[in-house]
A and B are shown apart, each in its own frame.
Chain A
Amino acid sequence: DADVTQTPRNRITKTGKRIMLECSQTKGHDRMYWYRQDPGLGLQLIYYSFDVKDINKGEISDGYSVSRQAQAKFSLSLESAIPNQTALYFCATSQTGAEQYFGPGTRLTVT
């Protein structure tokens, strides 16, 4: 079984809809991250959490929110989706902050 899982793997939604992406991990890591990747580009950090009570904004947090429900679960929400949020979304975990383990990604399309 994969150490970091993401659901859904693919999602098509309409502009203005609320959507939640979920991430679960079995690695026992405290640190979890959400990244966004646009076609042909690198990864941009949306939010990160160092423990259940800690939430921090990344460089592109506008339009997104997160919830750390437990050490193993970190959810990303788009309150009102817009087309330029169409991208690949990756969750990652880490114990140290440097060596990160990524999930398989969620491909989100906003029409």
Chain B
Amino acid sequence: LAKTTQPISMDSYEGQEVNITCSHNNIATNDYITWYQQFPSQGPRFIIQGYKTKVTNEVASLFIPADRKSSTLSLPRVSLSDTAVYYCLVAPVSSGSARQLTFGSGTQLTVLP
């Protein structure tokens, strides 16, 4: 079971780039790494996913080193509305898998003016 570890909290200022790292030492070969954003009393919202190297979309970038034992979510030029809890999830992407999914406890990002 690929448990994940993230910092409990981070503070940043508007306009800065924020990097949140997740450790997943026991990641399996067929596991993908996904990141989610959650606002209070709402369901998590998918941000980005990747398998290795770097993935970028209109919201964020995801950096994954060759050993895949960690990943870093990068949010460019954050704003106050990016204040939320960010979760990384390691999940198998294969049919018939009976693996249990594990969300970490998340990182509370607070963006200050």
Chain A residues in contact with chain B, CB under 8 A? 4, 33, 35, 41-45, 48, 50, 56, 58-59, 88, 90, 92, 96-105, 107
Contacts and interface: CB of A to CB of B under 8 A. Distances in A.
B106 A97 contact: no
- Chief secondary structure at chain A's binding surface: strand
A45 B34 CA distance: 16
A44 B105 CA distance: 10
Interface string B69-106: 00000000000000000010101111111101111111
Q: Which 6 A-B pairs have the closest CB atoms?
A: A102-B43, A98-B32, A42-B105, A43-B103, A98-B91, A42-B103
B5 to A, nearest CB: 11
B13 interface: no
A93 B92 CA distance: 14
Interface in B1-58: 32, 34, 36, 41-46, 49
Contact of A45 (B44, B94, B101, B104): B101
Question: Which of A48, A97, A107 neighbours the largest number of chain B CB atoms within 10 Å of its CB?
Answer: A97
Interface of B: 32, 34, 36, 41-46, 49, 87, 89, 91-98, 100-106
B49 A98 contact: yes
Contacts of B92: 97-98
Given A97-B101, A99-B49, A100-B36, 5 more contacts: A42-B87, A99-B34, A100-B34, A100-B89, A105-B42
A93 to B, nearest CB: 11
- Chief secondary structure at chain B's binding surface: loop
Given A43-B87, A45-B100, A97-B97, A90 B105 contact: no
B104 A103 contact: no
Contacts of A56: 98
A35 B38 CA distance: 14
Given A105-B42, A107-B41, A33 B93 contact: no
